[in-house]
């Protein structure tokens, strides 16, 4: 959605065509604008003055809302219309069972925490912003102001910044604009950098079929009529900064830019992000370990972005651009299918993706500094057959399950529980504010932090309150 805020690279006019067709020049300018928006002086100062050790979050966003009963909170002793079509498997944690289609996760569950009592009331999808903002008012179907509430990731970008000054703090692989929260009141500079537009990735259709085509990857390519020497002339680019300085000084939006402009230009012209998004630089053995699936390649790129210095990377795990691939209403309700035919094929893929990612991070010594979170916007109904379907579940914000790993937190545990039919929280509710507070504490962001919106109102980091989940610390 559009924002009214300007940023330091508006002069590129990235959205305007240079000719009759949208060219590589436009893509390059858009890339520069996205990077320029991420070179806020306070972030660079923070790096210069010293900061906590590098930390990152990888959010696996399961757009549409995965069923808690058919994944992480099975109810094998319930009637079939409640328990669903899948069996269960024992896990590495004594007495803990999960869906039979998650065997790799079951074997490594001692590296994870399951939260079975997430309170998603007020959450909806399209856009999926309540859980990603920790703001209960961020529901666009009831509140037109919801688009202004910043993502947790955007607030991390503002208060914590990237782990390296030449990479964006907040990066996303986006399937649909309605699946992600953006910078909102914070301004465009805290929107995610859309890595899927800069990486060469396979193209999947709306139901998950590989088309055999590749997209993206042109953002860092120079237009044919612009030489590398010309683009490498940082002094020429700095003249554009000089041209803006009077406007910048009058607003104070980038006070102190003079001291940091060389670093800003370094972000624009350096190759750190380009290299991170180039899978050809990854050993073939590792690429084969992750596999050729689009989501798995994005997970590998997320690990590479962690190494490059990004702080928050979100993967939009959806084929469909509407409500999301995990929106399994029923086998006779296309395009997502129901539990057996819709969710069923997703689970082995997710099982491989998350365990491969966590194992790879661990082997590289990155797991303690990388918090991996997997969740959607809500759970699903305890009863099968909703909306006259044969094999589906409807939206259910009353309770959701989610997975957490890494970050140097305590794991090998299950937090909370649902009632016997999986339809409500039985004990230990965890709210969106609690999840956000946990992330902020992990990053070292004070929970009493505030920011100011364009109208001058002082807004709280946690608008609805919240406490870090104590079991992690």
pLDDT in tens, 37-80: 333 444 455 445 555 689 999 999 999 999 999 999 999 999 99
| Maximum CA extent, the chain | 71
**Domains of the chain: which residue ranges?**
50-220+272-472
Q: For residue 18, what pLDDT is reported?
A: 38
Of residues 294 and 15, the one with the higher pLDDT is 294
What mean pLDDT is reported for the chain? 85
Cα→Cα distances 195→34, 42, 199, Å: 11, 23, 6
Cα→Cα distances 290→202, 279, 285, 303, 355, Å: 14, 11, 9, 11, 10
| N- to C-terminal Cα separation, the chain | 37
Report how far residue 186's alpha carbon sits from residue 166's, in angstroms, rounded to the nearest whole number. Answer: 20
- The matching CATH number, chosen from 1.10.287, 1.10.8, 3.40.720, 3.40.50, for 50-220+272-472 is 3.40.720
Q: For residue 148, what pLDDT is reported?
A: 94
Evaluate the omega torsion of the peptide bond into residue 440 and state whether it is cis, within 30 degrees of 0. no
Q: For residue 268, what pLDDT is reported?
A: 54
- Distance, C-alpha 316 to centroid of its chain: 7
Q: What is the pLDDT of residues 369-404, one digit of tens each?
A: 999 999 999 999 999 998 889 899 999 999 999 999
User: Percentage of the chain with pLDDT > 70?
Assistant: 78
Q: For residue 223, what pLDDT is reported?
A: 56
Q: Tokens 């947790």 belong to which residue?
A: 152
Are the C-beta atoms of 198 and 298 separated by less than 8 Å?
no
Residues 6+ apart with CB under 8 A from 223: 23, 24, 25, 28
Q: For residue 3, what pLDDT is reported?
A: 40
Is the pLDDT at 35 greater than 70? The verdict is no
Residues 6+ apart with CB under 8 A from 463: 134, 135, 136, 137, 149, 433
Q: For residue 50, what pLDDT is reported?
A: 52
SS3 content of the chain, % helix, strand, coil (to 5): 35, 15, 50
Of residues 1 and 362, the one with the higher pLDDT is 362
Q: For residue 269, what pLDDT is reported?
A: 55
Report how far residue 268's alpha carbon sits from residue 259's, in angstroms, rounded to the nearest whole number. Answer: 16
Report how far residue 174's alpha carbon sits from residue 93's, in angstroms, rounded to the nearest whole number. Answer: 34
Mean pLDDT over 4-31 rounds to 40
Is the pLDDT at 361 greater than 50? The verdict is yes
CA 411, 444, 112 angle in degrees (round to 5)?
A: 15
Beta strand 112-118 pairing with 413-415: parallel
Are the C-beta atoms of 152 and 132 separated by less than 8 Å?
yes
pLDDT band at 4 (very low <50, low <70, confident <90, very high): very low
Mean pLDDT over 222-227 rounds to 54
Tell me if the pTM is above 0.75: yes
Q: What is the pLDDT of residues 159-215, one digit of tens each?
A: 999 999 999 999 999 999 999 999 999 999 999 999 999 999 999 999 999 999 998
Q: For residue 258, what pLDDT is reported?
A: 44
Are the C-beta atoms of 189 and 213 separated by less than 8 Å?
no
Q: What is the pLDDT of residues 317-353, one digit of tens each?
A: 999 999 999 999 999 988 899 999 999 999 999 999 9
Report how far residue 304's alpha carbon sits from residue 254's, in angstroms, rounded to the nearest whole number. Answer: 29
Query: Please, which residues bridge with residue 202 across strands?
Result: 214
């Amino acid at each position: 959605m559009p924002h009214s805020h300007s940023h330091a690279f508006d002069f590129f006019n990235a959205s305007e065509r240079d000719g009759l067709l949208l060219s590589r020049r436009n893509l390059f300018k858009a890339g520069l604008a996205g990077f320029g928006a991420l070179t806020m002086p306070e972030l660079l100062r923070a790096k210069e003055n010293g900061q906590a050790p590098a930390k990152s979050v990888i959010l696996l966003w399961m757009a549409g809302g995965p069923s808690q009963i058919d994944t992480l909170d099975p109810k094998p002793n319930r009637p079939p219309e409640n328990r669903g079509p899948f069996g269960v498997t024992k896990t590495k944690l004594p007495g803990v069972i999960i869906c039979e289609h998650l065997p790799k996760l079951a074997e490594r569950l001692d590296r994870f925490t399951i939260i079975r009592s997430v309170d998603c009331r007020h959450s909806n999808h399209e856009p999926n912003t309540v859980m990603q903002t920790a703001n209960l008012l961020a529901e666009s179907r009831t509140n037109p102001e919801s688009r202004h509430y910043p993502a947790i990731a955007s607030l991390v970008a503002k208060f914590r910044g990237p782990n390296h000054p030449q990479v964006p703090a907040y990066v996303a692989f986006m399937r649909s604009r309605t699946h992600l929260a953006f910078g909102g009141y914070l301004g465009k500079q805290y929107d995610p950098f859309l890595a899927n537009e800069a990486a060469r990735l396979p193209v999947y259709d709306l139901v998950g079929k590989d088309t055999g085509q590749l997209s993206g990857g042109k953002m860092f390519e120079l237009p044919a009529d612009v030489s590398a020497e010309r683009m490498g002339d940082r002094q020429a680019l700095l003249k554009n900064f000089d041209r803006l300085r009077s406007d910048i000084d009058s607003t104070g939006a980038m006070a102190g830019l003079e001291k940091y402009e060389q670093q800003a230009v370094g972000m624009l012209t350096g190759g750190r992000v380009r290299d991170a998004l180039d899978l050809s630089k990854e050993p073939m053995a590792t690429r084969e370990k992750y596999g050729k699936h689009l989501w798995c390649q994005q997970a590998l790129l997320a690990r590479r972005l962690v190494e490059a210095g990004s702080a928050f990377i979100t993967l939009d795990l959806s084929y469909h651009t509407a409500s999301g691939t995990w929106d399994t209403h029923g086998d006779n309700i296309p395009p997502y299918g129901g539990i057996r035919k819709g969710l069923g094929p997703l689970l082995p893929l997710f099982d491989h993706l998350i365990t491969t990612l966590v194992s790879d991070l661990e082997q590289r010594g990155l797991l303690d500094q990388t918090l991996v979170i997997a969740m959607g916007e809500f759970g699903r109904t305890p009863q099968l057959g909703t909306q006259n379907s044969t094999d589906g579940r409807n939206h259910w914000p009353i309770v959701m399950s989610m997975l957490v790993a890494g970050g140097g937190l305590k794991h090998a545990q299950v937090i909370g529980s649902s009632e016997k039919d999986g339809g409500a929280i039985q004990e230990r509710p965890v709210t969106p504010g609690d999840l956000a507070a946990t992330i902020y504490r992990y990053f070292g962001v004070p929970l009493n932090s505030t920011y100011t919106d364009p109208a001058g109102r002082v807004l709280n980091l946690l608008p609805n309150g919240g406490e870090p989940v104590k079991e992690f610390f």
